[in-house]
Structure 1
Amino acid sequence: MNSDAPAYGLWLLAVVNAGLFILFAFSFFKPRTARDWRTLGAFSAFVVALFAEMYGFPLTLYLLAGWLGSRFPALDPMSHDAGHIWPAVFGWSADPHWSPFHLLSFVLIGGGFILVASAWRILHEAQRKGRLATTGPYAHLRHPQYGGFALILIGFFLPRLSRLTKRRIP
């Protein structure tokens, strides 16, 4: 991969990805009422913001550019590999994709998927038998799927939080 290629400003990619995700949600959700359309609109706004941040230009980079420039003058915030703030702040020089923050995000995402899958299995079985789900994850959490989705979102958020910039090593 060419390290001089910009990691941001890829607006066409942001629009295509947002469009695909919104179309996918629309095909399953099929809004009928005004409330359904508002819900789809809120989801669409989230997806547009996500891909604008991911491929367009990160708001966090804009907000922190002055502080980062004065604190870490050797940073190049416009390249992908340089897009990690935590390794720069802590002075780590290794590949940022193997930093403790990325590893923790893998654990959170995997744990969230495991929690959702195991809870779904228990819920489906209880629903089939016409009973309340009270075993497995339901013995400890009221809504394990929400907990799992929260873990997944935090797992995805953690590297984004760290994906601002990284110190260049000469």
Structure 2
Amino acid sequence: MRNVARFRYAFIAAAVGGTIAMTGCTPTVHVEPAVNAADPDCAEVMISLPDKVAGHDKRETDSQATSAWGDPSKVVLRCGVPEPGPTTDRCVGVNGVDWVIEEGKENWTLTTYGRSPATEVLINPDEVASSTVLVDLSNAVSQVPQDEKCLNARDVELPEGD
């Protein structure tokens, strides 16, 4: 009996060790999780994400409610970020999803508007087209219901003066 127990223990230890060794070879992308990454709506977004974005394959990440595409990463997504408030940044609607686009020097941050929790996408516009990324991700992020619309300055009616 002792030998059987030792054999089982050795077999289980080898199997677990082999699994750890195999997963250790997989390139995992480090992404900081968003504050509300544990929101149940983020789970709906995550299971709806496409395998490819802007022609790049999906990769494993090390944080809840995150994803990345490309090697090296060309598109990085985090669900559960705080919803953006009023802003002068550009706002676009793509396939029923409103996005606020914050243009940086190198990277752009694309954040859903009117959805709680919000989803944030980081891209380098010199490497991937924001329009392609937003089309590819719109179905997944639309799993979070929209309760507000993004307005541009031309959409706002100003009160008439006296």
TM-score between the two structures when normalised by the length of structure 1:
0.23
Say which structure is richer in helix.
1
Structure index of larger Rg: 2
Query: Which protein, 1 or 2, shows the higher relative CO under an 8 Å CA cutoff with sep ≥ 6?
Result: 1
